[in-house]
């Protein structure tokens, strides 16, 4: 196999350049700055073979994050596997909204439902070191990934296997956050892009897409301390329904926040 330089690989590769660079960084074991500063670095035969394998899998549609095993979220690198959703930039809004409710001078009990990779729980724990964070998920495989990410970033988090609030009888929190499944079962997007490879149980809520949000909104109040907040991510078109559910359940100070694309993305209320 003839030697190829980084610049040659990128010049002749028909793969999306962002994806190609991410795969090269993974194969070589370098960061973007190193990749930029070493365009003439020759890839060994083993590296070329590894890159070709990853490139073919990406061309077939596999998400880059699953191929490299990592994705950045809130300026932190998180391990990801096909057992968890890939962290997305819009979910950072949920963390930002949560941090607005974290006092700097007193501890706060925080619950992260359906934690997946643990990215929300870890980001909150890192940004709010006095927060006492509990994170739950129904998937043992997801919890294993989340525990690994917490250890990676030195975040002290209690992890529990739980179907929503099932393992939390009698416990109350000052803040509950969730990024639940909120896609309708018949949504055409499930057959396109990265969603094809992500765990269906973490994406699909039911026929309407609101089923998980309904459960969380209804069951959260007994687990919230007086004045406690519930905040959750939802689909771009689910803001009105989310606010209606919160109002029907008796929440006060109902709010919705928009993401950088201008879509309604996070809603919540206070008990």
Apex CA 67: angle with CA 195 and CA 134, to 5°? Answer: 70
Task: Count H helices and E strands in the chain, helices first.
Answer: 10, 13
CA distance 27 to 75: 22
Q: List domains and CATH numbers for the chain.
A: 4-60 (no CATH), 83-270 (3.40.50.150)
Instruction: Grade residue 12 by pLDDT with cuts at 50, 70 and 90.
Output: confident
Contact 198, 85 (CB under 8 A): yes
What pTM value is reported for the model? Answer: 0.93
pLDDT tens, residue by residue, 21-74: 999 999 999 999 999 999 999 999 999 999 999 999 999 999 999 999 999 999
Question: Which of these, 267, 101, 254, lies nearest to 179 by C-alpha position?
Answer: 267
pLDDT tens, residue by residue, 211-225: 999 999 999 999 999
pLDDT at 89 over 70: yes
Write down the pLDDT at residue 1.
63
- Looking at the chain, the whole-number percentage of residues with pLDDT higher than 70 is 99
Q: Which residues contact 193 (CB under 8 A, 6 or more apart)?
A: 61
């Amino acid at each position: 196999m003839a030697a190829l330089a980084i610049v040659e690989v990128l010049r002749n590769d028909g793969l999306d350049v962002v994806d190609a660079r991410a795969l090269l960084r993974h194969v070589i074991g370098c960061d973007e700055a190193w990749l930029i500063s070493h365009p003439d670095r020759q890839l060994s035969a083993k590296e070329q073979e590894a890159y070709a394998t990853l490139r073919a899998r990406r061309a077939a549609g596999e998400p880059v994050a699953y191929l490299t095993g990592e994705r950045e979220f809130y300026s932190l690198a998180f391990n990801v596997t096909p057992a968890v959703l890939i962290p997305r930039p819009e979910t950072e809004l949920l963390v930002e909204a949560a941090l607005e409710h974290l006092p700097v001078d007193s501890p706060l009990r925080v619950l992260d439902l359906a934690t997946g990779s643990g990215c929300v729980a870890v980001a909150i724990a890192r940004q709010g070191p006095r927060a006492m964070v509990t994170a739950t998920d129904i998937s043992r495989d997801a919890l294993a990934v989340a525990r690994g990410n917490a250890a990676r970033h030195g975040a002290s988090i209690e992890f529990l296997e739980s179907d929503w609030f099932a393992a939390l009888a009698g416990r109350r929190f000052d803040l509950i956050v969730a990024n639940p499944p909120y896609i309708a079962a018949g949504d055409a997007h499930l057959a396109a892009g990265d969603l094809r490879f992500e765990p269906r149980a973490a994406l699909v809520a039911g026929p309407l897409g609101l089923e998980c949000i309904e459960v969380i909104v209804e069951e959260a109040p007994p687990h919230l301390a007086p004045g406690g907040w519930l905040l959750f991510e939802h689909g771009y078109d689910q803001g009105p329904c989310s606010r209606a559910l919160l109002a029907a359940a008796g929440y006060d100070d109902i709010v919705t926040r928009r993401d950088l694309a201008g879509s309604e993305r996070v809603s919540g209320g206070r008990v």
